Amino acid sequence: MFRKILTQALFTCLLLINANSDAANIVTAARVWPAEEYTRIAFESTSPLKYQLIILKNPDRLVLDVEDVELSSVLQTLSDKILSSDPYIKQVRVAKYKPGVVRIAIDLKGEVKSNLFALAPAGDYKNRLVLDIYPLQDELMSMLDKRMSKPEQPSADTQKPVVEPLPPNTNLPDETVAETPTKPADATPAAPTVTTKPAENKPEVNKPLVNKEDERLITIAIDAGHGGEDPGARGANGSHEKDITLKIAKKLKEKIDAETNMRAILTRDGDYFIPLHGRVVKARNAKADLFVSIHADAFTNQSARGSSVFALSEKGATSASARYLAKKENESDLIGGVSLDDKDPVLARTLLDLSQAATINDSLKLGKAVLGNIGEINTLHTSRVEQAAFAVLKSPDIPSILVETVFISNPDEERKLNDEAYQDKLVSSILSGIKKYFATNPALAKSKIAKE
Ligand SMILES: [Zn+2]
């Protein structure tokens, strides 16, 4: 009973908060994350935004109407954030369309796929509205689509394609667009959702899969943790984990590519977000032999220091701190922003159903080899490979480890992380660990060669 009253009181409070914030929904930030893979625009607001997206052709553009907001400087300056080098967006024009409606017209460089979705508050973020703009032949999305084995679906309600060609709207507001009655999505011929076959295994590196001696190269997938909307942990002196992980990942790739029998692929090569399962899919698509996720997390205790290496666990974490860390890492999707449509239940289930025992065993061996080498250049936070349910380590057939290089929350270690010479040492020790793993597990490398 008491609980019921409490719930009701809480509900009334929420309603009041909502009623208050409805009166003045403020767009507090607008961020743009341009990348070859996809460009993301994220709007952050005090309350959920009311919106409508209109897809137009000839020329290609997207028109996003946002209701109950004022044309604030945050929105007005959005156009300044579009780089001329953006792969998909030519320019953005923002204007007050009618009282309480701001129209954002996005002129595109060509035909694109788009995905618009709202996100509830997560991490330090308030409500977000996210617009992702993908190339028509999008590698990651196609990979995910293939695995979903769902029938082609009509575009989401929020994306109502308007078929009538409209004159290029060089000026805003464009009355014609608004007067056009929006048809139900299913009554209109679908926008060009007829998807496009993925570019088959578009190589991310120049190095060919097979070298001169006709021997298969060992492929290492390197995953720079976080990225884009998900900054990861923040150091005492302001460094972002996502920047440091990318630097280290790129250095590691360079070192691996310099080896005669190895090549590396990066799950991301810039400051943009890739969902956790997207990272797994990329590694599998590249037929990676190993997966190494690079992190530099914060811990509640600032004095926490040292490196650690983690593997997946099928049955609970090996320690409370491993559980805490896995939980935090798995929040990456919430903070980075994954649309519900993109969540791939089929893939998730497939991964869970497969027994990963053998792979985990190899992951532990790999982890041990890497940990042993890192131990030569840094103190270890834990001397054994810890295990927990890290979503990014869930490749059923690729030995996968997550390396917590050092704690960014420790000011001393943060300084180390920003030091190029230290980064080089760290990368060399990870590579030595990988090589040691292959030296002691030749069967794996051999069977991979035989498969080719
Ligand atoms: Zn992390």
pLDDT score, position 138: 65
> Cα of 239 to ligand 1 centre, how many Å?
13
Those residues with Cβ within 8 angstroms of residue 288's Cβ, 6 or more apart along the chain or in another chain: 219, 220, 221, 265, 395, 398
pLDDT score, position 144: 54
319 vs 329: CA distance, rounded Å: 15
pLDDT score, position 8: 52
Contact (CB, 8 A) for 302 and 295: no
> Cα of 18 to ligand 1 centre, how many Å?
33
Distance, C-alpha 391 to centroid of its chain: 13
pLDDT score, position 430: 97
Proportion of the chain in helix, strand, coil states, percent, rounded to 5:
35, 25, 40
- Judge if pTM exceeds 0.85: no
> Cα of 233 to ligand 1 centre, how many Å?
6
245 vs 232: CA distance, rounded Å: 10
The one-digit pLDDT tens for each residue of the chain (452 residues) are 445 544 454 444 444 444 444 457 999 999 999 999 999 999 999 999 999 999 999 999 999 999 999 999 999 999 999 999 999 999 999 999 998 899 999 999 999 999 999 999 999 999 999 999 999 876 666 555 554 443 334 333 334 333 333 333 434 444 334 333 333 333 333 333 333 333 334 434 455 555 544 467 899 999 999 999 999 999 988 899 999 999 999 999 999 999 999 999 999 999 999 999 889 989 988 999 999 999 998 877 777 888 999 999 988 899 998 999 999 999 999 999 887 665 444 444 455 555 678 889 999 999 999 999 998 888 898 889 999 999 999 888 899 999 999 889 888 889 988 999 999 999 999 999 999 999 988 645 444 544 44
Q: Which residues of 239-274 are buried (b: 16+ CB within 10 A; e: fewer)?
A: bbbbbbbbbbbbbbbebbbeeeebbbbbbbbebbbb
Q: How many CB atoms lie within 10 A of CB 49?
A: 20
> Cα of 87 to ligand 1 centre, how many Å?
28
> Cα of 361 to ligand 1 centre, how many Å?
23
330 vs 227: CA distance, rounded Å: 14
pLDDT score, position 351: 52
> Cα of 226 to ligand 1 centre, how many Å?
6
